[in-house]
């Protein structure tokens, strides 16, 4: 049974998880809406990554399918870790070369992508399977 002291923390974590899921889902919707999957695949191939279009479709489909499942609180650790891997690659390929700041002192930098990555990893950690106490 959850103590009354744990409830606000669980609610806050759920709020962050749902906000993350919304951002990730919208990211996939925007890519499809703007016909950006093929250019995304071309970008990946231009970076020397084979099967760029297939990877672009996987990432997009994962954003569209897994984000609502993540928001619902199902398979949180597994989904968060896959999203973390995807977004870490995005930081490496796109945002880190542009610097740290997204606006102001830079453009398209890594700062908010790192925040998304940290929030994903925190959710994975909070929902990790725990060993049952032995009797």
> pLDDT for 26-81, tens place per residue?
999 999 999 999 999 999 999 999 999 999 999 999 999 999 999 999 999 999 99
Structural domain of 53: 6-126
Residue at 77 is within a domain: yes
Task: Tell me the average pLDDT across 87-111.
Answer: 95
Q: What is the mean pLDDT of the chain?
A: 95
pTM over 0.85: yes
Q: Please name which of 11, 3, 77 lies closest in space to residue 85, comparing C-alpha atoms.
A: 77
- Rounded Cα gap, residues 61 and 40, in angstroms: 13
Q: What's the half-sphere exposure (Cβ side, CA atoms, 13 Å) at 32?
A: 14
Residue at 131 is within a domain: no
Which letter, b or e, does each residue of 17-37 get, where b requires 16 or more Cβ atoms within 10 Å of its Cβ? beebbeebbebbeebeeeeeb
Residue at 1 is within a domain: no
Question: Domain total for the chain?
Answer: 1
Residue at 94 is within a domain: yes
Residue at 101 is within a domain: yes
- Rounded Cα gap, residues 112 and 118, in angstroms: 10
pLDDT tier for residue 130 given thresholds of 50, 70 and 90: confident
């Amino acid at each position: 049974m959850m103590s009354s002291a744990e409830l606000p923390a669980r609610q806050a974590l759920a709020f962050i998880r749902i906000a993350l899921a919304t951002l990730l889902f919208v990211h996939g919707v925007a890519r499809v809406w703007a016909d950006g999957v093929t250019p995304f695949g071309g970008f990946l191939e231009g970076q020397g990554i084979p099967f760029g279009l297939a990877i672009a479709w996987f990432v997009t489909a994962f954003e569209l399918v897994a984000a609502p499942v993540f928001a619902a609180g199902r398979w949180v650790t597994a989904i968060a870790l896959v999203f973390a891997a995807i977004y870490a690659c995005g930081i490496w390929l796109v945002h880190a070369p542009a610097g740290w700041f997204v606006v102001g002192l830079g453009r398209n930098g890594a700062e908010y992508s790192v925040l998304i990555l940290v929030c994903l990893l925190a959710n994975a950690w909070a929902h990790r399977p725990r060993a049952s106490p032995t009797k």
